[in-house]
């Protein structure tokens, strides 16, 4: 497999790299301000700034393509959010000099497109609390056509992989062309990603969310016990988990539906780029029932419960135990 060369991937690489720089700048310049998502905090400003920038660039580069993204401008338009809107406009105008408050809000709302046919999906800051803690987060962009993820790019400014000396990576994948990674902000040649070759469940490293509301720690504990897993689970925010899995740093990404919210369904922007990245690196991804993820059902994976992503050889062992536990 070779690194693909086409306008869509070039666009995604350029915009995600620039968006990652926005996120880093916002955090560095606003780190001493309040850190909740209801005010002019860094995470709020980074979220909206990145979505406005990428939405505008997408409308200019691929005007026929819809964008399905997480944020809407309604909050920014409130009088109480004037400081946030001002900060967002200032960051966006550094890249797009024509930006003003109204245009920024309009660009953000371009993210309300329909999830059908050919469209892009964006999570401008995936891993809100990771961003707040100065830990893992990701800028996640993917292209989906007729329910099939075609390419994905992840900017992970806080992730360090053994392949490179510096922290911060840009990971990308395209269907049929493998998964690749390079340091953010450099011209270093990309390296191909490959999942681990581990075959013994007891030796596997699980990558799971910090947020207990996103998964089911009680049932994950049962999975670990039944498979006699020795290594401690690695807690990691955001789609950075998928990059670590694709790079062979971990073996399993596990998202079991929470007890408190058994009808929870995952949002497509939280998984699209990472799912393809794992598969193109040699791994396997299904839901908890062993079904392929269906990205044709709108902005959520309505026909799938939870997520199981593995290096491949471990998949059936984990899937079998998960099914047993769910049926207990």
Contact criterion met (CB below 8 Å) for 199 and 314: yes
Q: Identify the helix (H) or strand (E) that includes residue 25.
A: helix 7-30
3-state secondary structure of 180: strand
Residues forming the active site: 47, 128
The pairs formed by 227-231 with CB atoms below 8 angstroms and a separation of 24 or more are 227/201, 227/202, 227/317, 227/318, 227/321, 228/201, 228/202, 229/201, 229/202, 229/203, 229/204, 230/202, 230/203, 231/203, 231/204, 231/205, 231/206
193, 281 Cβ separation under 8 angstroms = yes
Give the C-alpha distances (Å, rounded to integers) separating 102 from 17, 54, 82, 235. 25, 16, 12, 39
CB-CB contact of 118 with 65 (8 Å) = yes
Q: Is 24 left (phi over 0), alpha (psi -120 to 50) or beta?
A: alpha
Residue in this structure with the two tokens 């299904």, named with its chain if needed: 286
């Amino acid at each position: 497999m070779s690194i693909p060369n086409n306008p869509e991937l070039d666009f995604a690489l350029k915009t995600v790299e620039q968006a990652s720089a926005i996120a880093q700048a916002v955090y560095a310049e606003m780190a001493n301000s309040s850190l909740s998502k209801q005010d002019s905090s860094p995470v709020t400003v980074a979220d909206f700034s990145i979505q406005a920038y990428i939405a505008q660039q997408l409308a200019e580069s691929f005007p026929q393509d819809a964008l399905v993204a997480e944020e809407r401008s309604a909050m920014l338009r409130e009088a109480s959010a004037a400081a946030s809107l001002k900060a967002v406009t200032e960051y966006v105008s550094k890249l797009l000099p024509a930006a003003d408050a109204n245009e920024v809000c309009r660009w953000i709302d371009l993210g309300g497109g329909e999830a059908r046919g050919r469209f892009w999906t964006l999570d401008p800051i995936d891993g809100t609390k990771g961003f707040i803690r100065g830990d893992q987060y990701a800028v996640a962009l993917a292209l989906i056509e007729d329910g099939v993820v075609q390419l994905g790019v992840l900017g992970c400014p806080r992730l360090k992989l053994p392949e490179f000396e510096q922290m911060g990576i840009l990971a990308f994948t395209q269907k049929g062309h493998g998964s690749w990674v390079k340091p953010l902000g450099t011209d270093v040649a990309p390296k191909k990603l490959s999942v681990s070759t581990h075959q013994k469940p007891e030796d596997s490293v699980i990558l799971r969310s910090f947020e207990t509301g996103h998964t089911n720690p009680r049932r994950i504990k049962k999975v670990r016990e039944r498979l006699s897993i020795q290594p401690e689970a690695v807690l990691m925010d955001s789609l950075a988990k998928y990059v670590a899995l694709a790079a062979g740093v971990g073996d399993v990404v596990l998202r079991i539906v929470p007890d408190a919210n058994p009808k929870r369904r995952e949002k497509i922007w939280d998984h699209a780029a990472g799912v393809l990245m794992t598969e193109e690196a040699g791994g396997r991804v299904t839901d908890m029932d062993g079904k392929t993820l269906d990205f044709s059902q709108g902005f959520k994976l309505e026909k799938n419960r939870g997520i199981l992503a593995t290096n491949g050889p471990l998949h059936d062992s984990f899937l079998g135990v998960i099914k047993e536990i769910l049926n207990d």
